[in-house]
Structure 1
């Protein structure tokens, strides 16, 4: 998955003459650093998924709730003192609520579709 994305990155960069704009040495260095970063992120996500799937449902809900609360605290702290503080906070709360709602709907509907498929595939 990483190598096709890296190939697309290099092709797009070459089509935009990035090597001419920043220099070929810098382009090569950025490509190598980007590839290494992509491999590290891929490995870290795989480790996270493995540990996440081993957790109980209660711990998953607790960790997701803690992450949402920490996110809101960080957003509230960074928005403090801005002239449009209330608007920014409202957007953050609504965005987080929409993301959690979409995640919940995905879980409900995927289980419902699996149940419907299981029912009709038994025929």
Structure 2
């Protein structure tokens, strides 16, 4: 029974590592190869917690998306967007890489605990 717990613990840790690495990769990809725009932060719609971001892409499309981070309404922010999918954005100064690094670190610790339990329990 202990080995089952160890395997599930290690797998859970690996899932957290993959999620964190994917977040870091996505943020890096969008900020390095994306296009930049200035977005207007609009008030959140009724029932929503986060505001909307309205910006114009290089090809003239007007985009309005839900902000990935909380921001004060009525301000302007600089963001990077993916030219292939302009709804995928990273708000400058609010990249949240700390959260992704936290997932990687916690996942590695959890996976190591699972492996340790598997080795000591066998």
Provide TM-score, normalisation by structure 1: 0.31
Structure with bigger RCO (C-alpha 8 Å, 6+ apart): 2
More helix by share: 1
TM-score (norm 2): 0.31
Query: Higher strand fraction: Structure 1 or Structure 2?
Result: 2
